[in-house]
Structures are given as structure tokens and as C-alpha cells.
Amino acid sequence: MYVQEDTYRHKGMRKGLVRILQEKGITQPQVLQAILKIPRHVFFDNALVEHAYQDKAFPIGEGQTISQPYTVAFQTELLHVRPGDKVLEIGTGSGYQSCVLLELGAEVFTIEYNQVLYERTRKFLPMMGYQPHFFHGDGSKGLPAHAPYDKIIVTAGAPTVPSDLLGQLKEGGVLVIPVGNNTTQKMFRITRLADKKLLKEEFDNFSFVPLLGDKGWGKSAK
């Protein structure tokens, strides 16, 4: 495992990707700046490196994917991360989304269900200079030991909104989660207001790998 070089060519391709995201409606300067800074190609297998700056999801092994940059940017915008926010990410995967959250100044707690990806990303991210708090386990139940959080982001498609996650939000806290069936999910932003009231907002359709685990689709999506 090693960190690949970041060349002028890669930086140029990142500028192109940021332009595409702006054309698709991403506006928050901090989010665009993070995507401009983080070398996405280092998360890719050698065979796929040439595709790293396309606005597409790609396989990262274990049947999982690194999310499409537009999806990462869209979910991150919905979260409105402020420096110092305590953010729980469910579905560490490649670690790319964690890096974006860290660039925005968040303290990131990230949990991954798949042991191989957990081990790989836990070793790889610090080599790039990024240090979230890594956890292995079923994030469909959140991470109660470190709750409450300012923000929770779920990067896999859930069948319903797990109530455990709502219970782990601070008052004023925000959960961003895709909810739907095995192929298509709608993006929701749920804000926990005073008196445990919830504000639920609905956005576009996306297509995520399934959220596994007790409050997801179970042990396997099949």
C-alpha cells in the first residue's frame, strides 16, 4: 500500500471535475475547495486510475464503491458542516468522504461494516495525512459510545430511517440519509429540533449500495 504521486495533470483533472460539479449545482466554496484539494486517484486500483476524475462511482473491492463525486458533494452540502462539528459517517468505504469532512474542519467518527475495507482504510488514510476516528461494526445502529453528534451522514442506502440515528443527534443536529429500495433511494435531510421534533426534507433520487446490518437490509443485501 502506498500513496501515489499527485501531478499537475491530476490537479488539472480535479479542476475539470470541480467545474462539472458546479455545472450540476454544487455551490458551497468549502466543499468545492475540498474536492479540488483531495487526490481522488490515490483511492483507485492502478487499473482504474485513469477514471478517477470522472463524475462516477467506482469499485473499491468487497463489492463496494467509492461514491460518485457529485453524490459526495451533494450530501456534504446538505450537512452544512462547520469547523469543530462532531460528525458520524456510516460507511467508511474508501475513506474519501471522511477526507472531505476533515477538510471542512470536522472531527470525524467513521464506522465500516466490512472488515477488509475497515483494515485497509484505517491504515491508508493516515498515510495521506487524514486522521478520523475509525470503528469497525454495524453503523445502522449508529455509534452510541461517542454520541451525541452534530451531524450524521449515511453513505449506503437504507430501507427506513433508523431511529437509533435520530436518537444520537444533538438538538439542532442533522442526519443526511438515502432511503429507498435496493436500486433507488431518495435523499433525506432530517433536523432534530427542540422538544425532539423533527424537520424532514426530501431531495433527489440516488443509487447507493445497500446499508447492511440490523437496522439496514440485514447481513447481506441478497
**Where along the sequence are the contacts to ligand SAM (CB under 6 A)?**
64-67, 90-91, 93-94, 96-97, 111-114, 117, 138-140, 155-156, 208-209, 211-213, 216
3-class SS of residue 217 = coil
Amino acid making up residue 214: D
Least separation in angstroms between CB 130 and ligand SAM: 12
Judged by beta carbon, residue 34 or residue 66, the one nearer ligand SAM is: 66
Judged by beta carbon, residue 46 or residue 194, the one nearer ligand SAM is: 46
d(Cα 7, Cα 39) in Å, to the nearest integer? Answer: 10
Q: Which of 67, 94, 98, 140 is catalytic?
A: 67
Least separation in angstroms between CB 174 and ligand SAM: 17
**CA atoms within 13 A of residue 164's CA, in its CB half-sphere:** 18
Whether 67 is catalytic: yes
Judged by beta carbon, residue 143 or residue 199, the one nearer ligand SAM is: 143
Judged by beta carbon, residue 197 or residue 212, the one nearer ligand SAM is: 212
Report the DSSP pairing between strands 107-112 and 133-136: parallel
Catalytic residues: 67
